Chains A and B, each alone.
Chain A
Amino acid sequence: MSFINYASREINCKIVYYGPGLCGKTTNLQFVYQKTAPEAKGKMISLATETERTLFFDFLPLALGEIRGFKTRFHLYTVPGQVFYDASRKLILKGVDGVVFVADSQEERMDANIESVENLRINLAEQGYDLDKIPYVVQYNKRDLPNVLSVEELRRELNPTNVPDFEACATTGEGVFETLKAIAKQILFDLKKGK
C-alpha cells in the first residue's frame, strides 16, 4: 500500500513487474534506469545470481516530480521469474500498489506465461489482493523476435479482462515507458478515489 507522508509531503507507491523467467522484467527496469535523469532516480539494486538471473528482486526508486505539492515516488520491483522461486515472489508482492505483467511473446513461452499469470493471481490472493481490482497492465514483450504470437492471440489468453496492454521490446525500450506510465496513472487514480 502506498505511504502518504503529510509531514514531508511525499507519496510513495510500489509497482511490481511480474512474469515468467527471462521475459524481460529486469530489462524493463534497466531501460527505465538508463533513460531517467540522474536527479530523478536512485541506485538500481539487483539481487541476482552470477549468471544474472534475478535471485530475490531488482529495485529501482524513481522520484518523478510533484503533483499538487506532493513529491511522487515510485518504487519499481521485479520478482524472480523462475518457477522455483515462488516463496520470494510472494514476499515481494507485499504492499504492492500496482502490477505490470510482462509476457514473453514467443510461441514456445505461452505455457510459461499462462502459468505465471495464474501464479500471480494466487500469490496476490494470499496477500489479500484481487488481481481484477488492483491497478494492472499487461506488456507483450519481445515483439522484435521472429517467432512471436499475434497480439490478438496473446490478449485472448493473457488479458481476458481487457486491462490496458502494450507491445514492447524492452532491449530497445519500445513500449517500456508507455507501460510504466499506464500503471502509474492507474495507481494515482486509485489513490484519488481514496481506495
Chain B
Amino acid sequence: MSNPQLIMYDEEFKQINAVIEKLLREANAKVIFLVDKNGQLITGCGETERFDTTSLASLTAGNIAATGGLAKLIGEKEFSILFHEGEKDNLHISIVAGRVILVVLFDTRSSLGLVRLRVKKASEELSAIFGKLLQKSEEKEKSGDSEFPFAEITDDDIDNLFS
C-alpha cells in the first residue's frame, strides 16, 4: 500500500500533545490541530470545542489534496505551507513529516511571521515523534506483537453497531 496504516500509542500521543500545546502558547494561537492526510483528526488543543473539528479535519485534508494536485500540475512536489487570511481569523496549514497536516488557527493577537517561526520549530519536533511512531508500528508488526483490539471481532459485534 502507498501509505502505511497510522497507529497511535499512548506515549507518542502525550508527546505530540505536549508539542502542540507549547506551540499554541508560543504562537499565541487559538486552536491547533493535527490531521492525517486522509482526513482523520489525530488530536487538537486550544478552543477546540468551539469548532466542528471533524469537518475541519476532512476539509483541511481535501484542501491539502487539492493544492497537492495543483502542485503536481505545475511540476512541484507539493505546497508545504498554505495560508488563508480572513477578516478576523486566519489559518496556517503545513505538512509535517510528509503525511501529517498541522493546522494553526490564529487571530490578531498573533501574526503570520510569529506563527511561521514557531511552526517551523514544532514541525521538527513532530517529525521526530512521527518517525518514531512509524518505526514502532513497523517493529510491532514484524515481531507479530500486535495487541490489535479487533482480533476476536465477531459478526454479532458488527451487527450490534447497526442495531
Contact = CB atoms under 8 A, between A and B. Distances in A.
A192 interface: yes
Contacts, number: 137
Interface string B120-141: 0000000000000000000001
Interface of B is mostly: mixed
Given A7-B9, A128-B2, A194-B148, A95 B38 contact: yes
A1 B146 CA distance: 17
Interface in B75-101: none
Nearest to A40: B161
Contacts of B58: 45, 59, 61, 75
Contacts of A43: 52, 54-55
Contact of A5 (B3, B42, B148): B42
A64 interface: yes
A185 B149 contact: no
A31 interface: no
B38 A184 contact: no
Interface of B: 1-10, 13-14, 36-40, 42, 52, 54-55, 58-59, 62, 65-66, 68-69, 141, 146-153, 155, 157-162
